[in-house]
C-alpha cells in the first residue's frame, strides 16, 4: 500500500516529483524487511537440515497466512510523513504482511553452491559466497519488482486515475495476499516432501 502514501504526499505537495521521491524510502523499508527474513533464513540454513527448515518455514508461512486471514489493521498513521518515517512505516508494513516470507521457497530451493568432492573448508566458503549472492539477488529483484509495480500504480493514480476510484473500486489486497501466502507455504511443503 506504499503507492497510496506516495500519491497522498504528491497530492498534498501538488508535485509529481514527491510521488517518485516517496517511492524510494518505501522501497528501502520494504527491502530492509525482506532482508531481515533472508538473513534469518540464510543463518538457519547453515545450522538446520534443509528438509526440516523447509517444513518449518512452510508451517510458519501458512500459519502467517491464516493469521492474516483473521487479523485486522488497527491504527493507521496519518499522511504527514517524512522520508524516515515513510521508511519505518514501509518496514513495519512489509514485516506485518510477511513480504519476506514469499522469498523463502526460492531461497530454500536454491543450491548452496558447493560441489561434491570439494574440501570441506573450500565448500563452506563457496556455499557462503553462493548463498550471500543468492540472498542479495533475491532481495534486489524482489525490491525492484515492488518498486516498479508500486511506482507505476502510484504514478497512474496520481496522473490519470485519481483517488476517487477508491470509494467505489477498492480491492482488499488481503484477499489476494492471504491465498498467495498459503500457496507459497503449500509449494514449500511440497518441495520438502518430494
pLDDT at 171: 65
Q: What is the mean pLDDT of residues 51-57?
A: 89
pLDDT at 168 over 90: no
pLDDT at 45: 81
Render pLDDT for 75-92 as a digit per residue (tens, 0 to 9): 444 456 678 888 888 888
Residues above pLDDT 90, as percent of the chain: 15
pLDDT at 22: 92
Q: What is the mean pLDDT of residues 114-135?
A: 54
Cβ-count burial 144-176 (b if 16+ within 10 Å, e if not):
eebbeebbebbbebbeeeeeeeeeeeeeeebee
Residue 181 structural domain? 2-193
Higher pLDDT, 129 or 35: 35
How many domains does the structure of the chain reveal?
A: 1
Please, which residues have CB within 8 angstroms of residue 104's CB and are 6 or more apart in sequence?
37, 41, 57, 61, 184, 188
DSSP state, residue 117: T
Amino acid at each position: 500500500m506504499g503507492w497510496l502514501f506516495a500519491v497522498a504526499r504528491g497530492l498534498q505537495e501538488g508535485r509529481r516529483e514527491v510521488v517518485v521521491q516517496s517511492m524510494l524510502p518505501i522501497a528501502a523499508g520494504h527491502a530492509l524487511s525482506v532482508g531481515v527474513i533472508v538473513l534469518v533464513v540464510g543463518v538457519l540454513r547453515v545450522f538446520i537440515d534443509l528438509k526440516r527448515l523447509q517444513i518449518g518455514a512452510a508451517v510458519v508461512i501458512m500459519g502467517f497466512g491464516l493469521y492474516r486471514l483473521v487479523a485486522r489493521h488497527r491504527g493507521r498513521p496519518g499522511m504527514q510523513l517524512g522520508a524516515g518515517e515513510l521508511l519505518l512505516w514501509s518496514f513495519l508494513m512489509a514485516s506485518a504482511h510477511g513480504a519476506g516470507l514469499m522469498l523463502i521457497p526460492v531461497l530454500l530451493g536454491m543450491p548452496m553452491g558447493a560441489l561434491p568432492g570439494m574440501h570441506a573448508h573450500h565448500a563452506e566458503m563457496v556455499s557462503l559466497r553462493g548463498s550471500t549472492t543468492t540472498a542479495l539477488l533475491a532481495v534486489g529483484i524482489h525490491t525492484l519488482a515492488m518498486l516498479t509495480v508500486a511506482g507505476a500504480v502510484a504514478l497512474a493514480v496520481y496522473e490519470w486515475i485519481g483517488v476517487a476510484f477508491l470509494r467505489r473500486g477498492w480491492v482488499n489486497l488481503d484477499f489476494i495476499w492471504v491465498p498467495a501466502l498459503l500457496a507459497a507455504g503449500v509449494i514449500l511443503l511440497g518441495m520438502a516432501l518430494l
